[in-house]
Amino acid sequence: MSRAKGYLPAWLYLACVVLVTGLGIAGAMALRPAFANSVKEFFGLQAAPVAAPSSFYLTRVAPLFEAHCASCHGERRQKAALRLDSVAFALRGGRHGAVIQPGDVKNSELMHRITLPPSDDRAMPPEGKTPLSPDDVTVIRLWIAGGASPAMLATAIKGAPRLVREVAIPTLDAEAARRQRQVLAPDVERLSRRYPGLLTYESRNSAGLELNAALSGHAFGDEDLKAFTPLFSRLVRLDLSNTAVTDASARLLAAMPSLRSVRLTNSKAGDDVIAALASLKSLKSLTVTGSKISQQALSQLRSHGVVIYGDGDAR
Amino acid sequence: MPDNAPKPGVYVWDAPTRLFHWSIVVLIFVSWLSADQGYMKVHLWSGLTLLVLLLFRIGWGFAGATTARFSNFLHSPGRVMAYVKTVLGGERQLHAGHNPAGGLMVAVLLLALLAQALTGLVANDGLKFSGPLALQVSVDQSDQLTQIHGAIFNFMLVLIWLHLVAIGFYLLVKGENLVGPMVTGKKHHAHVPEGVALVFTRPVIALALLALSAACAAWILL
């Protein structure tokens, strides 16, 4: 073991290391704006941008990123080290640097990727994912052209395509309906023989049933309704107009969880029936023209979001 | 040899060890650059080459020259700490090969590189490229290992930085050039303990080991 013979004292070398490392980090920050933003935000030198409520970003752009991009560039996965689930992440960029150049659509990598033909390997969203529509692309283009601001109000950007709310239409499973109908068949057959023409399926690929007791008029009473008990869970439409069904059947109606539409025109049903219907979550519409139902009972039903046709006892 | 004649350098690093070292330097740079620029086929081949070399180095750590052997440079944490204290205290310890701290650095770098190469086999770039074994794991697992692949690279950057700082420390503070010997294989006699006996393995063994490593990698992949 001997004394070391060097050129620099250790403290001076340490200072050189700090200096060179600092210069290296500064150089990397200059070359990689995304890295620079991360470093600045880490040391609290720069606040991460936050989207304002009612901003164009939050109302128009963020839902598109969420629907089309976030599954690969979100909290769970960050492919290419890119996240698009917040405006701060989107502006920060990914492994290859910034993907959005505020105000510069032409040089924004994100814009470039989402406008590539689907056959291009680098097109986004990639093959197999839901593609952006031309209107979606326009929305993103307008946002970037407008400065990719997290705060700019939705109303401040002109020429954006109208916001289209997508409604998912449930698809019917014909095979499942066939199996469900097989279970119902004996009761449907028996009751169809006893009450000809009153019972039908709502559509070809559904096991939902419609009971149109109005065809029997006053001959159809509480006992008749009770006879359909085995099918209550499958009844989706019920027409008791002009029948003799009374409040005594209230508990029967409460046992029909699939009911979406009920007609009580000129029926003897009263407030008890309405109270029973209020417990049905799937009920959408009720017709009460010419009935004895009170406004108070109807207002309770309205508060559940049921559309009511007719005025009940308000005549 | 007359007493006043300059003493020759002592041969400490054999050719396979030096070639491995500089190949790894080049391959790490190529791997980073190719991934950064999106040349994923280049990245794939540099990664596979790296894996073969790592397998070779592991074998060389048992069958190679004295200074290349794990038994020569892997020490207990206590010995490593004692060495660091000694060096920072201004004292000098002579080692023909890696000193205890350097040995630890080699081991950690080898492990990090191995983990990097293995995670790369099942990683994906989120576009159209996946590692050759990516189909052997689920998409979620591939994504998670891709994140780890990126994290290990950042860890390796720290290790490389530390490696360079240590080289600079030895050169500028301790007056010992570590880079030169890794190029020529020879260390200045003043930096080698007197009378050290080093054993070197024949190059043909290295070639056989390299071929075996390539075969192992091919077996893993095929």
> What domains appear along chain A, each with residue ranges and CATH number?
19-45 (no CATH), 56-156 (no CATH), 174-314 (3.80.10.10)
Interchain CB distance below 8 Å, B173 and A6:
yes
Chain B residues in contact with A73 (beta carbon < 8 A): 126
With CB atoms and an 8 Å threshold, state whether A95 touches B88: no
Q: How many domains are there within chain B?
A: 1
Chain A, chain B: beta-carbon pairs less than 8 Å apart: 67
B128 touches chain A (CB under 8 A): yes
CA distance A89 to chain B (A): 17
- Segments of chain A scoring below 70 in pLDDT: 1-6, 33, 166, 312-315
> CA torsion angle for B80, B84, B87, B91 (degrees, to 10)?
-60
Residue A314 pLDDT: 46
pLDDT of residue A302: 85
pLDDT at B6 over 60: no
Question: How open is the CA angle B61-B161-B19, to the nearest 5 degrees?
Answer: 35
In a domain, B193, yes or no: yes
Residue B62 lies in a domain: yes
Instruction: For residue B56, give the CATH number of its domain.
Output: 1.20.950.20
What would the pLDDT profile of B134-161 be if each residue is shown by its tens digit? Answer: 888 888 888 889 889 989 999 999 999 9
Structure-token pair, residue A137 = 């692309």
As a whole-number percent, the residues of chain B with pLDDT over 70 amount to: 95
Note whether residue B147 is domain-resident.
yes
Judge: B36–A95 Cβ closer than 8 Å, yes or no.
Answer: yes
Residue B17 lies in a domain: yes
B4 in any annotated domain: no
Q: What is the pLDDT of residues B37-62, one digit of tens each?
A: 878 899 999 999 999 999 999 999 99
Q: Which of B93, B143, B174 sits opposite A6 (nearest CB)?
A: B174
B1 occurs within a structural domain = no
The per-residue pLDDT for range B93-135, each reduced to its tens digit, is: 888 889 999 999 999 999 999 999 999 999 987 666 888 998 8
Is B30 domain-assigned?
yes
A58, A50 Cβ separation under 8 angstroms: no
Q: Residue B89 sits in which domain range?
A: 10-221
pLDDT at B1: 46
Min Cα separation B202/chain A (Å) = 33
Which stretch of DSSP H or E encloses residue A199?
strand A199-201
Distance CA B183, CA A91 (A): 45
Q: CB–CB of A78 and B161 under 8 A?
A: no
Return the axis-axis angle of helices B40-63 and B203-221, rounded to nearest 10°: 130
Average confidence (pLDDT) over B200-217? 94
pTM for the model stands at 0.61
Q: What is the pLDDT of residues A62-109, one digit of tens each?
A: 999 999 998 888 887 777 778 899 998 898 888 777 899 999 999 999
Q: Has residue B182 been placed in a domain?
A: yes
Q: Are strands A209-212 and B186-187 parallel, antiparallel or unpaired?
A: unpaired
Q: Identify the pLDDT of residue A313.
A: 59
